[in-house]
């Protein structure tokens, strides 16, 4: 799942108009933003095995701190509380926390049974939609389109940056997704982890676009 997480980030604007798109992306993708750094430090492990699933060649061997349900609940509380204290925005804080948790629930739908429930136990979960590329696309692409549509409907561009910056962002996300799904497997886990860091740019892009658009709903 990739653009499906961003879909929820876009769509959440309708319930939290005061929260920047960048913050919504940060929350929806939070555990996948932590994960590459945990890989680089050797705290978590992944293996590249072409053909492992119909969609991704990644075999998630060990990722209890970014992707176990219990850890994700903790990250959700941390992000929600930090935001709530800084911005004094209770709705925003709840929405961001829910977005962090949403990542795990969406991953649950697509991953093989490899998502741990807690960092210590052996119980893993995953409904493995990634066994089918058409089914994965049938879920994720309409989700993404719907999320973008909700964001566009609930905000208005203040200038060219708000209009074309958003179009560029949507296009870029789609291209990365296509490359992920259809392209060659990453050459190494090191390369994967470094490229994963580039996701922070998507968060910054979200902040930038949102600054050039205004919510239509009164905040
Ligand atoms: Zn994930």
54-96 pLDDT, tens per residue?
999 999 999 999 999 999 999 999 999 999 999 999 999 999 9
Residues in the chain: 219
The dihedrals phi and psi of 121, each to the nearest 5 degrees, come to -75, 175
The CA-based angle 56-62-67, given to 5 degrees, is 75
* Predicted local confidence at residue 39, as pLDDT: 98
How many A from CA of 41 to the centre of ligand 1?
18
Compute, in angstroms, the gap from residue 141 CA to the centroid of ligand 1: 17
In a domain? residue 217: no
- Is 46 a domain residue? yes
In this predicted structure, the answer to whether residue 5 has a pLDDT above a threshold of 70 is yes
pLDDT digits (tens, 9 = 90+) for 107-120: 999 999 999 999 99
In a domain, residue 77? The reply is yes
CA of 159 to the centre of ligand 1 (A): 34
- In the predicted model, is pLDDT for residue 218 greater than 80? no
Burial (Cβ within 10 Å: 0-12, 13-18, ≥19) of residue 109: middle
Query: In angstroms, rounded to a whole number, what is the distance separating the alpha carbons of residues 193 and 44?
Result: 11
Q: Residue 73 is part of which domain span?
A: 3-212
Model confidence at 8, pLDDT cuts 50, 70, 90, reads very high
pTM above 0.85, yes or no: yes
**CA 218 / ligand 1 centre spacing (Å):** 33
**Residue 191 confidence class, pLDDT cut points 50, 70, 90:** very high
Across residues 123-150, what is the average pLDDT? 97
What percent of the chain shows pLDDT beyond 90? 97
> Is 202 a domain residue?
yes
Mean pLDDT for all residues in the chain:
96
Assign 1 a pLDDT band (cuts: 50, 70, 90): confident
* Separation of CA 108 and ligand 1 centre (Å): 9
Cα of 31 from ligand 1 centre, angstroms: 6
Q: For residue 121, what pLDDT is reported?
A: 87
pLDDT tens column, 23-43: 999 999 999 999 999 999 999
Residue 164 lies in a domain: yes
Give yes or no for a contact between 125 and 108, defined as CB atoms under 8 angstroms apart: yes
* CA 18 / ligand 1 centre spacing (Å): 26
Query: DSSP labels for the chain?
Result: --HHHHHHHHHGGGT-TTS-HHHHHHHHTHHHHHHHHHHHTTSSEEEE-TTSSSS--EEEEE-HHHHSHHHHHHHHHHHHHHHHHHH--HHHHHHHHHHHHHHHHHHHHHS-S-EESSSS---EE---GGG-HHHHHHHHHHHHHHHHHHHHHHEEESSHHHHHHHHHHHHHHHHHHHHHHHSPPPS-HHHHHHHHTTHHHHHHHHHHHHHTEEESS--
Q: What does the pLDDT read at residue 108?
A: 98
| Domain membership flag for residue 33 | yes
Q: Provide the pLDDT for residue 134.
A: 96
Total tally of structural domains belonging to the chain? 1
217 pLDDT higher than 80: no
Ligand 1 centroid to Cα of residue 32, in Å, is 5
**Does any domain span residue 149?**
yes
Residue 57 located in a structural domain: yes
pLDDT-based confidence at residue 140 (cuts at 50, 70, 90) = very high
Phi-psi bin for 51: left (phi > 0), alpha (psi -120 to 50), beta?
Answer: left
Asked if residues 117 and 125 have their Cβ atoms less than 8 Å apart, the reply is: yes
């Amino acid at each position: 799942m990739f653009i499906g997480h961003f879909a929820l980030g876009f769509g959440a604007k309708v319930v939290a108009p005061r929260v920047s798109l960048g913050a919504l992306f940060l929350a929806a993708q939070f555990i996948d933003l932590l994960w590459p750094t945990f890989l680089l430090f050797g705290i978590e492990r992944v293996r590249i095995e072409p053909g492992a699933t119909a969609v991704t060649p990644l075999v998630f061997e060990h990722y209890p701190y970014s992707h176990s349900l219990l850890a994700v609940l903790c990250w959700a509380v941390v992000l929600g509380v930090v935001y709530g204290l800084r911005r004094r925005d209770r709705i925003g804080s709840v929405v961001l926390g829910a977005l962090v948790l949403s990542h795990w629930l969406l991953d649950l739908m697509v991953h093989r049974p490899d998502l741990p429930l807690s960092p210590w136990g052996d119980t893993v979960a995953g409904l493995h939609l990634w066994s089918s590329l058409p089914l994965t696309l049938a879920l994720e692409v309409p989700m993404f389109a719907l999320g973008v549509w909700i964001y566009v409907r609930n905000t208005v561009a203040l200038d060219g940056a708000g209009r074309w910056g958003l179009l560029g962002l949507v296009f870029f996300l789609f291209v990365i997704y296509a490359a992920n799904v259809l392209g060659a497997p990453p050459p190494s886990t090191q390369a994967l982890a470094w490229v994963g860091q580039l996701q922070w740019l998507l968060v910054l892009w979200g902040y930038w676009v949102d600054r050039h658009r205004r919510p239509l709903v009164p905040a």
